[in-house]
Chains A and B, each alone.
Chain A
Amino acid sequence: MRHTLTTRFVTILTIVLLGAAAAFAALANATSVHHGPQPEAPVESTADPAG
């Protein structure tokens, strides 16, 4: 029972964390739109996003 509950908790937590990451992505881009174009800012997309 406790172990089944733990598995359910992990499942719910996973969904919540995925949702948080997705919300962050939406918010980061909404913030970017809010800031408007920043021609002087370094164009990060030309760099490798992964490094």
Chain B
Amino acid sequence: MTPVVRGLLWSVVYLLAAIAPLFFMIVGDAPPGRGWWTDLSMGLGFVGLAMLGLQFAVTARFNPVDAPYGLDVVLQFHRQISLVAFAFILAHPAILFVGDPQLLRLLNPVTATAPARWGLVSLVGLVVIIATSLWRRQLRLRYETWRVLHGVLAFVIVATAVVHVELVGYYVSGPWRRALWVAMSLVLLGLLVYVRLIKPVQLLRRPYRIASVRPVGAETWTLRLEPDGHAGVRFSPGQFGWLIVDRSPLSVREHPFSFSSSAEDHSGVDFTIKEAGDFTATVGDIAPGTRAYVDGPYGAFSYERNEAAGFVFVAGGVGITPVISMLRTLADLEDRRPMWLFYANPAEDGVIFRSELDGLCDRLDLRLVEILEDPPEGWAGEQGFVTPEILDRHLPERDERLQYFICGPEPMMAAVEQALHDRGIPADHVNLERFDFIE
């Protein structure tokens, strides 16, 4: 099955799961309707709740689900669809209030009925989770704090909404509807238990030890991890893992990084990390011997999943890390296919793996094009940003048989993607990896 077919299949599964409650509500001896607008309000509430429950599945990091799209796209979907679910759930009481303004009294938690009170708690939780997710930086919430809050609120929102539906009871009565409703609630609970408990406990059995912490450039470090009592992780070059250092996998302090070592090196894995946030700023202080865990691999950004006659890599800054993993692996496999690497950085001191890239040019049929925004005097490479003109100067004209891999800052990726589109490169030959997909 091709990734496109698998992607379509999962999209259909999502759609069916989101509207499943509507089927439950009209199956068998359905209760009488209460007017089109009231039932539209109910329908939107149920679909919105199903979408919120499905968010646990969307973010559960199931590789078969994520692989056809890439985790960055899955997380973009998670963010956008949560706003749609929010709108549906807001519309649920709003339609009722417009139809009967007296119902506005249900917004008062003191005088509201018990079902309305639970619904109100869910709604307030939803407002808080959306606000803290959209404006986390403006609210100065630390990433780890936000993740704990996000997980707790997600549970509270769905649980209180389920209680609200149970107490209203109108559409979940009758043995069939009851059974289907309970089954759906149990699946949601099961997903939560799997993500928050079973998966972390499985990781506990696969610890790593930090073997070394090496500086590889300005504010950039390579962590070497070696498996402790197990065979380690097998990944496709270009993939990434969630790294947990000096904490239990049950904690939420985990961060996604690309593997930078060769996939052919089975003695351990490397992560190359640039100091940028709360955790990454402390990477240089990690002591060798520290315990760590790796949840992964994830992602579809790999030449192994996109075989071609040759490869073009475009990396910006620390976006070089998945690319260096692919190049190291290809060199270990003595691959002789033609390759191009466009490596862009603001200035020369931001360049990492410089001498190793020269060595890789000897071991591979690799052409390295270095681009500096602010080059030093006498610079022989390209200057500025990665432009269509620079691509034209270095790439062959007939390049539709190649696969393209782009990783770097969002503006660079958008510009290169557009340039490749303008060159007539099919979209399924262009692979992107956002290293800042956690926002």
Residues of A that sit less than 8 Å from B by CB:
1-3, 6-7, 9-10, 13-14, 16-18, 20-22, 24-33, 35, 38, 41, 44-45, 48-51
Residues of B that sit less than 8 Å from A by CB:
11, 14-15, 18-19, 22, 25-26, 30-44, 46-47, 51, 69-70, 73, 76-77, 80-81, 84, 88, 92-93, 96, 103, 106, 112-119, 164, 167-168, 170, 417, 421, 427, 430, 432
Chain B hits for A25, CB < 8 A: 33, 36-40, 42-43
Majority secondary structure of chain A interface residues (helix, strand, loop or mixed) = helix
18 extra A-B contacts, CB within 8 A, seeds A3-B73, A10-B77, A41-B32? A6-B80, A10-B80, A13-B11, A17-B18, A17-B19, A17-B51, A20-B22, A21-B43, A21-B47, A24-B43, A27-B26, A28-B42, A29-B33, A29-B35, A31-B30, A45-B38, A50-B96, A51-B164
A50 to chain B, nearest CB (A): 5
Check A44–B170 contact: CB distance below 8 A. yes
Alpha-carbon distance between A27 and B186 when the two chains are bound, in angstroms: 27
Chain B hits for A50, CB < 8 A: 92-93, 96, 103, 106, 115-116, 119, 168
Alpha-carbon distance between A42 and B193 when the two chains are bound, in angstroms: 39
Chain A hits for B421, CB < 8 A: 1
Name A20's closest neighbour in chain B (CB-CB): B19
Name B410's closest neighbour in chain A (CB-CB): A3
Name A21's closest neighbour in chain B (CB-CB): B43
Alpha-carbon distance between A38 and B34 when the two chains are bound, in angstroms: 12
Check A22–B43 contact: CB distance below 8 A. yes
B24 to chain A, nearest CB (A): 11
Chain B hits for A27, CB < 8 A: 26
Pick 11 A–B contacts, CB within 8 A, sort by A. Answer: A2-B427, A13-B11, A18-B44, A20-B47, A24-B26, A25-B33, A28-B33, A28-B34, A29-B33, A49-B34, A49-B42
Check B41–A49 contact: CB distance below 8 A. yes
Chain A hits for B93, CB < 8 A: 50
Check A31–B32 contact: CB distance below 8 A. yes
Check A22–B40 contact: CB distance below 8 A. yes
Check A17–B96 contact: CB distance below 8 A. no
**Given A6, A31, A51, which contacts B77 in the complex, CB threshold below 8 Å?**
A6
Given A24-B22, A41-B32, the answer on whether A51 and B168 have CB atoms closer than 8 Å is: yes
B386 to chain A, nearest CB (A): 16
Alpha-carbon distance between A22 and B421 when the two chains are bound, in angstroms: 39
Chain B hits for A28, CB < 8 A: 25-26, 30, 33-34, 39, 42-43
Alpha-carbon distance between A20 and B51 when the two chains are bound, in angstroms: 13
Chain B hits for A10, CB < 8 A: 77, 80-81, 84
